[in-house]
Homo-oligomer: A and B are copies of this chain.
Amino acid sequence: MNLKELAEKLGLSPTTVSRALNGYPEVNEATRERVAAAARRHNYRPNARAIRLATGRALAVGHVIPLNTRTEIMNPIFSDFIAGAGEIYSRSGYDMILSIVPDEAEEATYRDLMSRGTVDGVIVHGPKTNDPRIKVLKDLGLPFVVHGRATGSELDYNWVDVNNRRAFQRATEFLLHLGHRRIALVNGLEHMDFAIRRRAGFTEALASQSLNPDPGLMSSDEMTEISGYRAGLRALDHPQPATAFLAASMLQGMGLRRAIEGRGLHMGRDVSVIIFDDDLSYLRNGEDVPIFTATRSSVRDAGRLSAEMLLGVITQPGTPPQHRLLEAELILGQSTGPVAIGPAPAP
């Protein structure tokens, strides 16, 4: 059942039927209702392909997920971000198109999406310092919102980000207040922008106490359980072991706990741990009492906000670049405590 057939059944022209269904004013209220009723009765739904061609809009937004061809690791926060964004899209009648591409093919993917007219805009995931994608998208004229920021880009662009620097600064200060001086940083990969900001917050907080970060206590890796475990062992086996950890993700925190307990220590008593908690739906930080003390910011909310911003940019071209900086909250869990007196017990 298409528009023409429906129009014939009603004894009207396709024009009128189209207008009636799309709420244009120049159609009699009585006919509008007649049309609406017929559409409902015949289960008519306008063909999306035809609408797209006729209007020149894709009614779709793209999420390009670069897949590091070497590690092939999907970012675990991705599914919750998508869930938040998807909620907004479906509410607005937009489709969400996912492109999983090897990271070296990402630029080509944007050109393709643009020139074929597959999407009206894109979300950029996982920005790196001096990320080249921003210039590419600006040049293409494809509307976009970055989830995160790309230090070093002199261009202005739309972004939604968490105040990563501040979050890690506050977390570090909290550990310092508890008396910790040997604090290990278990960071994400430091070509990622957020990881650099977190590191900056960490070192700034140390510097305010005239402390220098010990390179032997800083690591930077994929945010997996394994990497947390490895970093934990390294820092605990250090000649001057860490008494506290600051980790970039829940999974790394879990790896840390395994390392800590593997060395016969107890998290929260012998060793303190603070994590960054993205509030993932399938990785909740405990129930009523959080397991980990954490800086928390919901990545699902970030997805919602990014999607809303993008749809705004698409429907109102020419608006100046928008920014949204979210603050992470510091929540107290069972993984932190005052620095233990005397040296930690030997393994």
> A284 to B224, Cβ gap below 8 A?
yes
Q: Which residue of B lies closest to A44 (CB)?
A: B115
A76 touches B74 (CB 8 A): no
Is A48 within 8 A of B226, CB to CB?
no
* Chain A 52-109 residues near chain B, CB threshold 8 A: 52-53, 56, 58, 60, 65, 67, 71-76, 78-80, 82-83, 86-87, 90, 95-101
Q: Chain B residue with minimal CB distance to A230?
A: B287
Of the listed stretches A131-139, A190-198, A250-258, chain B binds: A250-258
A50 at the interface (CB under 8 A from B): yes
> A254 contacts which chain B residues (CB < 8 A)?
225, 254
Contact check, B224 vs A282: say whether CB atoms are below 8 A apart. Answer: yes
Is B116's CB under 8 angstroms from A284's CB?
no
Q: How far is it, in angstroms, between the C-alpha of A224 and the C-alpha of B280 when the chains are bound?
A: 11
**Nearest B-chain residue to A80, judged by Cβ:** B74
A210 touches B (CB below 8 Å): no
Q: Is A239 an interface position by the 8 A CB rule?
A: no
Count identical subunits in the complex.
2
Residues in B neighbouring A40, C-beta threshold 8 A? none
Verify if A37 is at the interface (C-beta below 8 Å from B).
no
Q: Given A74-B79, A96-B98 in contact, is the A49-B47 Cβ separation under 8 Å?
A: no
Which residues of B sit under 8 angstroms from A258, Cβ to Cβ? 257
A46 is an interface residue with CB less than 8 A from chain B: yes
In the complex the two chains form, is A283's CB within 8 Å of B251's CB?
Answer: yes
Taking the complex as formed, is A45 at the interface, i.e. its CB lies under 8 A from any CB of chain B?
yes
Is the Cβ of B43 less than 8 Å from the Cβ of A74?
no
Residue A281 is within 8 A (CB to CB) of chain B in the complex: yes
A286 at the interface (CB under 8 A from B): yes
Contact A281 B72 (CB under 8 A): yes
Question: Which one of A83, A223, A287 has the greatest number of beta carbons of chain B within 10 Å?
Answer: A83
Chain B residues near A213: list those with CB within 8 A: none
Task: Flag whether A112 is at the interface (Cβ < 8 A).
Answer: yes
Does A118 sit within 8 A of B, measured CB to CB?
A: yes
Q: Are B101 and A226 in contact (CB under 8 A)?
A: no
Q: Is the CB of A287 within 8 A of B226?
A: yes
- A284 and B225 CA atoms in complex are apart in Å by 8
Question: Which residues of B are found within 8 Å of A79, using beta-carbon distances?
Answer: 74-76, 78-79
CA distance A95 to B45 in the complex (A): 22
Is A261 among interface residues, defined by CB-CB distance under 8 A? yes
- Tell me the complex Cα distance, A251–B250, Å: 12
Give complex CA distance A225, B258 in Å: 14
| Cβ B100 vs Cβ A99 within 8 A | no
- Is A117 engaged at the interface, CB distance under 8 Å to the other chain? yes
- Name the 5 nearest CB pairs between A and B, nearest first: A86-B100, A48-B116, A45-B115, A49-B52, A76-B282
Assuming A60-B97, A72-B83, A222-B282, what are 16 further A-B pairs, CB within 8 angstroms? A47-B53, A48-B116, A48-B118, A52-B52, A52-B53, A53-B53, A74-B82, A74-B83, A74-B282, A76-B283, A78-B79, A82-B100, A97-B98, A226-B284, A251-B283, A254-B254
